[in-house]
């Protein structure tokens, strides 16, 4: 599944060969958490967001494990991170190239869609807050 996210909310994009070696598992923590990563004395909770951005049918197909993940997107505002398998490109997109989504109470993290690629734009800090609150 391909998604886009604004770079403004990201603290760091980390390439890791094997996420398991860097992440500490926390027993009986959150069902949405894969563990905790420490970077420069700051802890980042690794959050699973697939249940919120995928349909039930897509969840099994797009569910990442720590072994599958090659990148961690660290979100500075929330001290959380999201796993991903590949980063295809960084690109600057004009406002004209985006179809904005109306403010939604059910999906406040969905900003809009890049029209040319038909890729949803996700506000990661807002999505992570929704996952933690489980209000989606």
- Tell me how far apart the alpha carbons of residues 43 and 53 are, in angstroms, rounded to a whole number: 24
User: Which tokens sit at 35?
Assistant: 């563990």
25 within 8 A of 19, measured Cβ to Cβ? no
Asked, for residue 2, whether it belongs to a domain, the answer is no
Domain span at residue 116?
Answer: 7-133
pLDDT at residue 21 in the model: 66
- Per DSSP, the three-state class of 19 is helix
Number of domains in the chain: 1
70 within 8 A of 86, measured Cβ to Cβ? yes
Per-residue pLDDT of the chain (136 residues; tens, 9 = 90+): 777 888 877 888 877 766 666 777 777 666 677 788 888 888 888 887 776 776 666 666 656 666 666 777 888 767 888 877 778 888 888 888 888 877 766 788 888 888 888 888 888 888 888 777 764 4
pLDDT at residue 128 in the model: 82
| CATH code of the domain in which 119 resides | 2.40.50.180
């Amino acid at each position: 599944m391909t998604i886009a996210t604004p770079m403004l909310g990201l603290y760091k994009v980390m390439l890791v060969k094997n996420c398991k070696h860097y992440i500490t598992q926390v027993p009986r923590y959150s069902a949405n958490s894969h563990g905790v990563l420490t970077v420069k004395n700051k802890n980042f909770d690794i959050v699973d967001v697939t249940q919120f951005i995928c349909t039930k049918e897509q969840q099994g197909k797009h569910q990442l494990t720590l072994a599958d993940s090659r990148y961690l997107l660290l979100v500075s505002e929330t001290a959380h991170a999201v796993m991903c398998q590949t980063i295809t490109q960084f690109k600057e997109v004009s406002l004209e190239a985006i179809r904005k989504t109306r403010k939604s109470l059910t999906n406040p993290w969905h900003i809009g869609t890049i029209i040319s690629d038909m890729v949803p734009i996700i506000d990661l800090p807002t999505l992570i807050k929704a996952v933690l609150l489980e209000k989606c």
